[in-house]
Amino acid sequence: MVRGGPSGADVELIERLAALGVQVSAAQLERWRGLGLLPRHERMWLGRGRGSVSVLAEETVAVAAALGRHARAGRDVRWTVIAWYAEAGRPVLHGQLPVPEPPWPAVREALVWAMRRSAAHRLVEAARTAAGAGEEEQDAFYAQAGRVVGRGHTGPAHPEVMRRVLEDPDAELDRGEDRRRRRGAVRLAAAAAMGAGEVGGEVLVDALATLMPGPDWTDVAANARRAEQSGELDGWIRAGAVDPLGRLEAAGAQEMAAARHAALVLAGIGGLYLMHGFGLPDSPALARLRAQLEETGLALVAAQMVPLMINPPGVVHALSMCLAPDIAALAAWLEAVLAEQAGTG
């Protein structure tokens, strides 16, 4: 609660923010200060017997602007911190204030809190219970996985398919693709939870091929059959190998910043990939980029980063994904490919 009215520096801050199109109240400013998110004003002494006045710093304006842009009525402030953290990693646009980094302890707390309450974490917890239990618990896991995947977004249609529909209104989307992706996601979740042996080699490779189209999976399928026959398939994906919450808890500030950069790179390239389906004028460079992305089998990962990086709950999952070494390596490679193409025109 603001007592005795806002200080002169707060009045100036509120006016500066309003000029930027950001509306905040004195009570909000006090709340953010109490949470350690907004710096307190420094005091300037006016001289003997004249007291002091609060002084507004430019850094405070930038921090308050970031908080104000992402604050929503009724929204937990931790979602605001996550949205602020995502914005702080983006390039500064011309004419805009640089976005300062939020305090790392607040970022870590917000990310861990958000993941703990997510459907993905509940699914991991159910998987841990099912892994060492009987059929009843495993059946319950499959039912929960089906519900979670059924509500989730399985990713956009292939850009070429979308472009064909855009150019020909009578063309139809393959509705079965969505069902195949959902089925593949449940099977992959089961393999990650209870080991590859739980689903079997053929089913596992089919799920991977559905979710990561592009590469030729023939050799992988043959290797899976041999591993299953020799009893070594469980080593492909160990039970409990996927732990999104554990990744977030273990990451330090620099690791998380690297994951954020990777997520933004993938979202940018995923956006270029998807926009082809919405009529973006094509070029040889864009065509090469799409082809190289599809050859990795991870085009769907890049495409999914686009919606994930738009809202705070999605940002949490995007960062957890990009803490995985293989996804981070994909982002680094694609960034190098993009830089090379930009250099060659």
**Within a domain: residue 43?**
yes
CB 16 within 8 A of CB 56: yes
DSSP character string of 254-289: HHHHHHHHHHHHHHHHHHHHHHGGGTPPP-HHHHHH
Could you tell me if residue 259 is inside a domain?
yes
Angle at 156 between CA 154 and CA 125, to 5 degrees: 20
Q: What is the tally of structural domains in the chain?
A: 2
Most confident of 79-83, 145-149, 271-275, 288-292: 79-83
Identify the three-state secondary structure at position 308: helix
How much of the chain exceeds pLDDT 90, in percent?
A: 37
Strands 51-55 and 42-47: antiparallel
Range of lowest pLDDT (35-49, 173-187, 223-237, 298-312): 173-187
Question: Is position 138 within any domain?
Answer: no
Least reliable range by pLDDT among 28-32, 217-221, 274-278: 274-278
| 299 domain residue, yes or no | yes
CA distances, 168 to each of 40, 60, 163 (Å):
59, 53, 8
Note whether residue 304 is domain-resident.
yes
pLDDT digit string, tens, across residues 159-216 = 555 555 445 556 554 555 667 777 777 777 777 777 787 788 888 888 877 776 666 7
Which domain-ending residue is among 80, 102, 124? 102
Per-residue pLDDT at 303 exceeds 50 = yes
What mean pLDDT is reported for the chain? Answer: 82
**How many helices, marked H, and strands, marked E, lie in the chain?**
17, 2
**Better-predicted residue by pLDDT, 277 or 137:** 137
Residue 83 resides in a domain? yes
Indicate whether 232 belongs to any domain. no
Between 13 and 93, the higher pLDDT residue: 13
Of 102, 133, 148, the position where a domain reaches its end is: 102
Query: Does a structural domain hold residue 118?
Result: no
For the chain, how big is the Rg over CA atoms in Å? Answer: 24
- pLDDT tens, position by position, 20-60: 999 999 999 999 999 999 999 887 665 555 555 678 999 99
Domain boundary among 102, 133, 160: 102
Tell me the average pLDDT across 291-308: 86
Average pLDDT estimate for 100-118: 96
Reported confidence tier of residue 14, pLDDT bands at 50, 70, 90: very high
Q: Is the pLDDT of residue 19 over 60?
A: yes
User: What is the spatial distance between Cα 235 and Cα 132, in angstroms, rounded to a whole number?
Assistant: 17
Q: What residues make up the domain containing 332?
A: 248-343
